[in-house]
Structure 1
Amino acid sequence: MISGVLIGFEVLKKISHVFLLVALYLTAAGGDANAGMSVEGAMSDALQSYSLDKGMYVVITGSGSALPDPKRAGASAAVVVDGTVLQFDFGRGVMENMMLSGINPMDIDYIFLTHHHFDHIASYGYYLIANWIAGRQEPVYVYGPEGIEDLTQGAYIMNKSNIEFTKFIVKNWPERLKRKPLAEPPYVVKDVDSGVILDTPKIKITAVRTPHYPDDISKSLAYRVDTPYGSVVITGDTGYSDDVIKLADHADLLIHECQKPDPGMVKGGKMTAEAFQKPSKKRPQTHHTTPTELGKIANLAQVKKVVPYHLPPYGSVPKAREMTSLYTGEAGLDIWAKYITAIHKNYEGPVVLAEDTMVFRVGGEPVDQAGEDAK
């Protein structure tokens, strides 16, 4: 069902025009990770020449982990279905990556937050204020685990001075100027839990809880998007989960966190310590997923393609690696090859390591209920 991928902007902008054309040709023609795919676009200028208005697309708006990484924004993804934009999580750098991928952040229709950890909501408050100031006229609908209203109100409290200033500007807005901001920031929030949380003629969203941290602290969710074009599952943060396996059953695309290296992949780091590899009485669940575990999940769910994201800053700039080494340890240049090899121990399908601004096209023509191409 998945027929396209856009190579990350940060990679392509470093390639000369000639080599870019060659790379795009080779990607479209085949290769292990991208076999059977066609390239939808390239650098930011080219992104303006194609449209996401028809079909189903997945945009990696952030592929990184919790701490700063100039090469990877906070873990997040946008799903675009016939122009309807669904944004999953809102970490640092999300809006900038949306713009690089040809999406206006003001066009977001729905936001789905997987949980309330700072790296998944870092740009959420900023977006709500910027969206309002830029003149959005329709509310954005926000779904997430219990506490979304408090989270949203907290964002407004933090930006109180800016909100009052904007209200003053709106009150004295010159009539000659168009797209006047509304009197109040436009949003509608809803706490959700496991089950079907959105069901429209074109889009169905199902959520399940994930084992990220104890529910008495806060809940964490993964989401499945079903459309006439195909299906996508986005996990947010999670350890190995039977519920995620059921949710991802035969999905076209599984975007799954892979924060935690397998034992022996890196040197040092709290994440790779033995105490963090297995559940215990003090820690009855694992908080993140290893490549080997991800391969098992993908195999059992029989998904068609896997995109590991929420990746540590291995290979990033020295100061990013230095800042995060306490948690992620130190890795060699072959770390990503090790990731893919570990996933392939249990999963034979294609694996594409996420990069910021990568775009996947899911399906072609819509599929009817009988499972055949719609005429």
Structure 2
Amino acid sequence: MAKGMKAVIVGSGSAVPDPDRGNPSQAVVIDDEILLFDCGERTTINLIKSGINPNDVGHLFLTHLHWDHMAEFGYLVMSTWNCGRRQTLQVYGPDGTEAMVANSIYGTHKADFDFVRGYIRRLPSHITNKPSNDPNVKALDIEVGFELETDTFKVTAGEVVHHQCVGMPSVAYRVESEYGVVAISGDTSPCQGMIDLAKGADVLIHDTAFLDEIIEERQMWSHSGPSGAARVAKEAGVKKLVLTHLGPYTSHPKAIEMGEMYYGPARGPEIWDEIVAKAEAVYDGPVVLAHDALVIDV
């Protein structure tokens, strides 16, 4: 990618398996630095579709540990290790992240870990471009208020309202560089913490998991609809709103059937225009409907 700062929608879908959309994942690219936020199903292949080599991801920030936000972590680690990744993958996320990383590599993928280790040992000595001796992954549990600052970027973890009341710690992230600011909500209902974190951002990537009427009918307190996401964008004064974490409203019939208890029956393609219109009725800046491998200039 060219120099500058870009926001990439790696996966734009929901927790329901959807042939049209991968699970939630975003990347922020600052010159040659690649920051990945969440790692749902299809992350690795969608990074490639976005023009990003997964081997080049140096930092992974998890908003929370629900399966749709970390389902592909093990595959990302094992596939990049096997394909010669050299740099350390530093993983940050709420309480439980360190345990998840250790359990994935040395538990779920122990057979793969042992295989790659054995494979490396048996490679002829003249082969120099072989994988490193270990997967080079480090993890750190973080809390709201965490900051990571380098010469290139600053990442801040902010407060959101998701499923903390049932034991799921969650955070959102703000990424700042000399080029601009990107805010990423993860999963949240509209809240002051997200407004504060997104203040003045060039791009806000916000959870729009359900239609407004579903939010109201189910009295949901853990996700946003298009109007709620737009309200955050308006009050934060952001320059562009990107709606993501979208349901399988027009997807394969079996995906719609599987998610019907959350999203209702199949809908026509006009639903996407309706979602954008709901947001535009509240927020007067540009509204972008996310899709997988969407690249946005900051």
* TM bucket normalised to smaller: over 0.9
The correspondence of residues 159-308 of structure 1 with structure 2, limited to 5 A, is 159-214=109-164, 217-263=167-213, 272=215, 274=217, 276-277=218-219, 286-308=221-243
Shift of 1:216: 6.1
CA distance in 2, matches of 1:215, 1:127: 30
Shift of 1:58: 1.1
Query: Which amino acid in 2 is paired with 1:227?
Result: S
Q: How does the TM-score come out when normalised to structure 1?
A: 0.76
SS at match of 1:77: strand
Match of 1:158 among 91, 105, 108: 108
Shift of 1:196: 4.1
> What's the counterpart of residue 311 of structure 1?
246
CA deviations on 1:69-118 (whole Å, 9 max, x unpaired) are 11101111110001100000000111111111111000001000000000
Matching of residue 355 in structure 1 with residue 291 in structure 2: yes
**Contact residue 209 and residue 219 of structure 1 kept, 8 A:** no
> What's the counterpart of residue 136 of structure 1?
85
Q: How many residues align?
A: 296
CA distance in 2, matches of 1:193, 1:290: 26
Matching of residue 56 in structure 1 with residue 8 in structure 2: no
Shift of 1:241: 1.0
**Contact residue 111 and residue 142 of structure 1 kept, 8 A:** yes
> What's the counterpart of residue 76 of structure 1?
25
Query: Which amino acid in 1 is paired with 2:160?
Result: T
Match of 1:148 among 86, 94, 97: 97
> What's the counterpart of residue 8 of structure 1?
none
CA distance in 2, matches of 1:245, 1:310: 18
> What's the counterpart of residue 368 of structure 1?
none
> What's the counterpart of residue 275 of structure 2?
339
| Unaligned runs of at least 5 residues, structure 2 | none
| Unaligned runs of at least 5 residues, structure 1 | 1-50, 264-270, 279-285, 363-375
Greater CA drift, 325-334 or 238-247: 325-334
SS at match of 2:205: strand
Q: Which one has the largest radius of gyration?
A: 1
CA distance in 2, matches of 1:67, 1:177: 43
Query: Which amino acid in 1 is paired with 2:267?
Result: G
CA distance in 2, matches of 1:182, 1:104: 17
Shift of 1:215: 5.2
SS at match of 1:171: helix
> What's the counterpart of residue 330 of structure 1?
265
Q: CA distance change for structure 1 residues 217 and 336 in 2, over 3 Å: closer, same or farther? A: same
**Contact residue 215 and residue 225 of structure 2 kept, 8 A:** no
Shift of 1:273: 6.7
Greater CA drift, 212-221 or 125-134: 212-221
> What's the counterpart of residue 282 of structure 1?
none
> What's the counterpart of residue 85 of structure 1?
34
Matching of residue 99 in structure 1 with residue 99 in structure 2: no
CA distance in 1, matches of 2:295, 2:283: 22
SS at match of 1:352: strand
**Contact residue 253 and residue 303 of structure 1 kept, 8 A:** yes
Shift of 1:272: 4.8
CA deviations on 1:160-208 (whole Å, 9 max, x unpaired) are 1111111111122212223222222211111111124211122010111
Matching of residue 118 in structure 1 with residue 67 in structure 2: yes
SS at match of 2:68: helix
Greater CA drift, 244-253 or 333-342: 333-342
> What's the counterpart of residue 42 of structure 1?
none
Identity of matched residues, %: 40
CA deviations on 1:225-277 (whole Å, 9 max, x unpaired) are 000000000111111110000111110000001001111xxxxxxx5572x32
CA distance in 2, matches of 1:253, 1:292: 17
Query: Which amino acid in 1 is paired with 2:205?
Result: I
SS at match of 2:58: strand
Q: 1 or 2, which has the higher strand percentage?
A: 2
**Contact residue 196 and residue 204 of structure 1 kept, 8 A:** no
Shift of 1:62: 0.3
Shift of 1:218: 2.3
Q: CA distance change for structure 1 residues 135 and 107 in 2, over 3 Å: closer, same or farther? A: same
SS at match of 1:346: coil
**Contact residue 236 and residue 257 of structure 1 kept, 8 A:** yes
